[in-house]
Structure 1
Amino acid sequence: MKTLDQFDIRGRSALVTGAASGIGLAYAECMAEAGARVTLTDIDGEAAEREAARLREAGYEARAAKCDVSKLEDVAAAFDDHAAAYNGCDIAFANAGLDVGNGFWTPEGKRNPDGQIDVYEPERWYKSIGINLNGVFHTVREAARVMKQNEALSGRRGGSIVITSSNAAEVNEAIVGVPYMAAKAGVKHFMRHAAFELAAYGIRVNAIAPGPFVTNIGDGWVKKNPAAKKAWDELCPLGRMAETYQIKPLALLLASDAGSYMTGSHVMIDGGMQLGPIKPLND
């Protein structure tokens, strides 16, 4: 098979959670641009529909659904609707996530009193785990359920599940909130277990682990706070935060047959952050 032919996903279908903005929207755009039929899901259903409409206006096949990934029934309904519309599901991106608060260090280089473990609000912990870890479980669970039916529905066996993890699963980041770090570490190991179990069904499970990307996570605090953007730029060995379009080629690799021998991989795309910060954070 020719190299570029392995990236061909025309005629396949993809569901993306958290697809109304940021990395999730980049995934949805990537899938549509490569010829897949896409369902954009998001807790903000109106925003998801706006983006799906924009893709349709550009000539792509896209639909939208409101979905709160912390609720299993929402996720199940989204996959059922997608499978009915597109005769199964070939690709699923378990992407939806949020950051409920800063870490113990501020971008300006000082201790953050609200981010200390001994005073951290439990509600923020529960909310983060509910979306960032439980939401991934719900999405992978329902994707696996539908993908096991693919051969009967479409004649294509298996599928590809891609989870958005984080370099926070691998390294300590003082600026990032503690529940986000814990959730992403859990996501990494859950991904490996899911890949181990689902390989027998031809379902591949991998994770993309982004580093500092400019997105709307944390209520878009990096976009709103020049000091935060500057701090991340200075910490990164490549000297800059990434834009979401830069994640698209990796997403296509893992979603397509180009990644057909990849499962259980936790792929870093973080500008070298796993190598360590250029400027150490000290009191």
Structure 2
Amino acid sequence: MIGIEKLFAVAGQAVVVTGGASGIGLGYAEALAANGARVTLLDMDAGRIAAEVARLVAAGYDVRGASVDVTDRAALDRAIDDAAGAYGRLDTIFANAGINSGVGYLGGWVGAERPRITEGALENYDDARWDRIIDISLNAVFATLRAAARHMRPQRSGRMIVTTSAAAIRCEPAIGMAYMAAKAGAAHLVRNVALELAADGITVNAIAPGMFATNIGGGALRQAEVQAAVARGIPAHRVGTPADMYGLALFLASPASSYVTGQQIVIDGGFSLGQAD
């Protein structure tokens, strides 16, 4: 019988996290770095990356960072190659970079009064918003997994973990349709890539968060009054925090999940199940 310390061990792993400067991505990075992994944070926000790397290094963690736009595939390839080169391998990658969904066709999250939003209606949906969300939340996931496969397949091991969303499985009229399409597409991409790479010792899974207090959406869910309103529609009666991701991130990156692949694990306090109260 393997002890729990070895079962969930990530010490020494070489890890890359896209969208790693804040929110859920930073939560992934902190969870693995605190348990001995060597982590590279990738994000567009160079200042935030520098500040978080300095904070984590000061805490005694092995963390580095680089600024990259995940929609620039050549730059993304270079950043992932550089991270793998710095550590001599690539064990785990979190394809986490994302963007705000924008408005859907209904306003509000709870209550009977949910007005129609003209901007979010199908016939008015903006091409630029659609393209930007698909580029970051779907196309960049493909590019991230492809770049990682070039390192993981030759070593015949690796963990790929994609951040999707509860919006991949539940229609929510307050969420812009491009976001739901991108996240659902990413979830199916995970299943296809998992099928291809299983024989190479590489697992590919998705984490599907519900309502989390992050910078997405301009950080509205960090506001107490917004949290309270949204929490009324969640069976657990609270929104999530990045700390809620620690256990699942460790599980999917560790030997404990070695026979789990092609799965999308929802972590949402019951939000995708419906309203209980």
- What TM-score results when the alignment is normalised by the length of structure 1? 0.93
For 2:213, the equivalent position in structure 1 comes to 214
Task: Tell me how far apart the structure 2 counterparts of residues 142 and 225 of structure 1 sit (CA, whole Å).
Answer: 40
For 1:267, the equivalent position in structure 2 comes to 265
Offset at residue 4 of structure 1 (A): 3.0
Query: Which residue type is aligned with residue 98 of structure 2?
Result: G
Aligned residue for 1:11, secondary structure, equals coil
Task: Tell me how far apart the structure 2 counterparts of residues 127 and 276 of structure 1 sit (CA, whole Å).
Answer: 30
For 2:255, the equivalent position in structure 1 comes to 257
Match of residue 126, structure 2, among 121, 137, 155: 121
Query: Which residue type is aligned with residue 36 of structure 1?
Result: A
For 2:49, the equivalent position in structure 1 comes to 48
Query: Which residue type is aligned with residue 98 of structure 1?
Result: I
Task: Tell me how far apart the structure 1 counterparts of residues 99 and 131 of structure 2 sit (CA, whole Å).
Answer: 12
Q: Would you say the 8 A contact 2:138–2:182 is kept in 1?
A: yes
For 2:23, the equivalent position in structure 1 comes to 22
Q: Would you say the 8 A contact 2:210–2:271 is kept in 1?
A: yes
Offset at residue 230 of structure 1 (A): 3.2
Count the aligned residue pairs. 272
Q: Does 1:162 align with 2:161?
A: yes
For 2:79, the equivalent position in structure 1 comes to 78
Query: Which residue type is aligned with residue 49 of structure 2?
Result: A
Task: Tell me how far apart the structure 2 counterparts of residues 221 and 126 of structure 1 sit (CA, whole Å).
Answer: 24
For 1:11, the equivalent position in structure 2 comes to 12
Q: Indicate the RMSD between aligned Cα atoms, in angstroms.
A: 1.4
The equivalences for 1:49-64 within 5 A come to 49-64=50-65
Query: Which residue type is aligned with residue 173 of structure 2?
Result: A
> 1:173-223, CA deviations, whole angstroms, 9 ceiling, x for partnerless residues?
122111000000101100000000011111110000000111001221323
Q: Does 1:130 align with 2:135?
A: yes
Task: Tell me how far apart the structure 2 counterparts of residues 185 and 83 of structure 1 sit (CA, whole Å).
Answer: 29
For 1:198, the equivalent position in structure 2 comes to 197
> 1:72-94, CA deviations, whole angstroms, 9 ceiling, x for partnerless residues?
11210111111110001000000
Offset at residue 21 of structure 1 (A): 0.4
> 1:246-267, CA deviations, whole angstroms, 9 ceiling, x for partnerless residues?
1110000001101111100100
Query: Which residue type is aligned with residue 47 of structure 2?
Result: E
Task: Tell me how far apart the structure 2 counterparts of residues 122 and 278 of structure 1 sit (CA, whole Å).
Answer: 37
For 1:231, the equivalent position in structure 2 comes to 229
Task: Tell me how far apart the structure 1 counterparts of residues 72 and 90 of structure 2 sit (CA, whole Å).
Answer: 20
Offset at residue 29 of structure 1 (A): 0.4
Runs of 4+ in structure 1 over 4 Å off: none
Q: Does 1:111 align with 2:116?
A: yes
Offset at residue 277 of structure 1 (A): 3.0
Offset at residue 278 of structure 1 (A): 4.3
Q: Would you say the 8 A contact 1:16–1:40 is kept in 2?
A: yes
Q: Would you say the 8 A contact 2:231–2:239 is kept in 1?
A: yes
Task: Tell me how far apart the structure 2 counterparts of residues 129 and 225 of structure 1 sit (CA, whole Å).
Answer: 30
Offset at residue 241 of structure 1 (A): 0.5
Offset at residue 100 of structure 1 (A): 4.1
Offset at residue 225 of structure 1 (A): 8.1
- What TM-score results when the alignment is normalised by the length of structure 2? 0.94
Offset at residue 96 of structure 1 (A): 0.2
Offset at residue 122 of structure 1 (A): 1.1
Aligned residue for 2:204, secondary structure, equals strand
Determine what percentage of the aligned residue pairs are the same residue. Answer: 45
Aligned residue for 2:208, secondary structure, equals strand
Task: Tell me how far apart the structure 2 counterparts of residues 145 and 82 of structure 1 sit (CA, whole Å).
Answer: 13
Query: Which residue type is aligned with residue 161 of structure 2?
Result: V
Aligned residue for 2:261, secondary structure, equals coil
Offset at residue 61 of structure 1 (A): 0.5
Task: Tell me how far apart the structure 2 counterparts of residues 77 and 33 of structure 1 sit (CA, whole Å).
Answer: 26
Aligned residue for 1:204, secondary structure, equals strand
Task: Tell me how far apart the structure 2 counterparts of residues 124 and 222 of structure 1 sit (CA, whole Å).
Answer: 21
